[in-house]
Structure 1
Amino acid sequence: MHAIDWPEGFVPGFTDNFVSNEMIISNLNVNDLWPLLSQPLLWPEYYKNSADVCFHDNKGPELEIGARFYFSTFGFPVEAEVVEFVSPAEGKPARLAWHGWAGEKDTAQRLDVHHAWLLEDLSGHRIRILTQETQNGIPAKDLANTRPNPMLNGHQEWLDGLIRAAKK
């Protein structure tokens, strides 16, 4: 199976926080899910922890390489820029990743994240959905030590909501 491509500074095990959520389900394919994931304005419809989505620079409604957007999640106002966008193609996984940040640079409140998605069709009309996020900063350290883990649980809700929406 394929893996997330990590940029320097965000490799799991060398960051302040890391979460990974994965599901393999049948009777859906990448093309069923991709439009719901690649259009952030749709996220609040199936994921309650996403709100206030807007695009910068007259971009949208679909993400693309370099697109800047904003959303709020986990109580953080997140500015983000798409750093990986690979649409579904036969025999290759779809990939989406953004660098997100909250707070002023070089302050204790600063949080930097790399959030990545990988969607890949498998044999037997199954799909694998993998989402992983690494984080750096004091807020990331605090999240890493919080139980239950809000990132792990929140991203699972995102996966569950994405699958429910795709099945409708």
Structure 2
Amino acid sequence: MIDVQVKILNPKVRDWGLPAYGSDMAAGLDLYAAIDAPETVAPQAPAVLIPTGIAAYIGDPGYVAMIYPRSGLGHKKGLVLGNGTGVIDADYQGQIFVSAWNRNPTGEPITVQPGDRIAQLVILPVKRATLRLVTDFETESVRGAGGFGSSGVGTPTAA
């Protein structure tokens, strides 16, 4: 368990509540849209930044907060993150924003209402690396320098 400091920046958050886990075993804390009026996200239009009304401070370089789409909104409605995944570093103390994008190629616009749960925040451990410059790798892997698709297409093989 890690203690994360949270600051309320928009008083409406007090009505909706702080980000919370949807169940006892949920990995993500729901983030709310702290907006004053409905926000329409047009299909395939540029992503929009939606404020959450909170700032969080992790304060421990052994952790990071990741923002992910909510699976129901992403799969059923097409509301995903414009940046794929959001990264909140341990030393960041500003407002958390969600980059919202409507991935539907020809679908309907998606309207985000004030207080809607629009994304989830997952706190994960981080292993920091030390980079060591080498001329050649100490061992050669089976894959080697094979790039995209070099390890197969994902089709199961018969045993």
TM-score, normalized by length of structure 1? 0.27
Which has the larger Rg?
Answer: 2
- Higher fraction of helix: 1
TM-score (norm 2): 0.29
